[in-house]
Amino acid sequence: MSRQYNLDILQIMQASPVMPVIVIDQLAHAVPLAQALVAGGIRVLEVTLRTPAALDAVRAMRKAVPDAIVGVGTVKNADDLAQAIAAGAQFGVSPGATPALLAAVRDSRLPFLPGTMTPSNVLAAREAGFHAVKLFPAQQAGGVGMLKALGSVFADVKFCPTGGVTPTSAPEYLALPNVACVGGSWLAPATAVAAGDWHAITELARAAAALSKRG
């Protein structure tokens, strides 16, 4: 059974220039981390399904940090998708895409960013009705040069390059007209999260939020 969602995926991508890729090892870190990122101006949070605490972290963030737009990343199949929706995810992100996953996403109507790496992947996503996708892993896929090449033939597709993006390279990506945002893990470094250094994370978020982007 599908739900109604207030935002579409492009609106979510354009809400913050950087989408932090978040790994939660301890549930106790979820809410203060979300609060620190939002305090710095980063509202869109991708919690990856890489740890047992991930889904509970999404639930906690949704309840305690209403200003955040909380999604689930590393969605690899329909079961992951169902669990993300049950946890209250407002959007989903996948590292790649299969016909079965894209069909399940369409049925759910969850705002979703399917992963692509090649022109064939982009074509498959477009044929399935998706005109906003993730380029992953962006650096290994060719980075800015690849996005320029893709833009010349897929003018109707917006990208979120993720994988190897840094504070130094992010502005070059964001300057591209077909890039709506970038994904990055540097906003929530494991050492700062483990130490509970939320001030440092807020400062990283503030710097990221100040990056320019073109929609």
By annotation, the residues acting in catalysis are 46, 134
How far is the C-alpha of 34 from the C-alpha of 61, rounded, in Å? 7
Angstrom CA distances, 80 to 49, 54, 121, stand at 8, 11, 20
Best CA proximity match to 42, nearest among 63, 16, 66, 23: 16
**Structural contact between residues 74 and 48, judged by C-beta atoms closer than 8 angstroms:** yes
**Structural contact between residues 78 and 100, judged by C-beta atoms closer than 8 angstroms:** yes
